[in-house]
Amino acid sequence: MSKNELVKLIEQKRSKLIEVASTNGLTSSVAIRYSQELDHLLNTYNRKYLQSSKTS
């Protein structure tokens, strides 16, 4: 997955999370699931693109 694809997925997941949280609340099961998925995407981005630039 390219950097641009990953950023696009992060933006899409963030938008979905905001939409679901505003409708169902931050503690709803759907919002929690989306939040966890967003965390996973952000961690992946951090591992691939931010940490590697620190060591270079």
Q: How confident is the model over 1-54, as pLDDT tens digits?
A: 899 999 999 999 999 999 999 999 999 999 999 999 999 999 999 999 988 666
| 32 located within any domain | yes
Structure confidence at residue 50 (pLDDT): 87
**So what's the pLDDT on residue 54?**
65
Asked whether residue 48 is assigned to any structural domain, the reply reads yes
Full domain range(s) for residue 49: 3-14+25-55
Give 47's Cβ-side CA count (13 Å radius): 7
Q: Within 13 Å and on the Cβ side, how many CA atoms surround 27? A: 0
Whether residue 19 is contained in a domain is answered as no
Domain count, the chain: 1
- Indicate whether 20 belongs to any domain: no
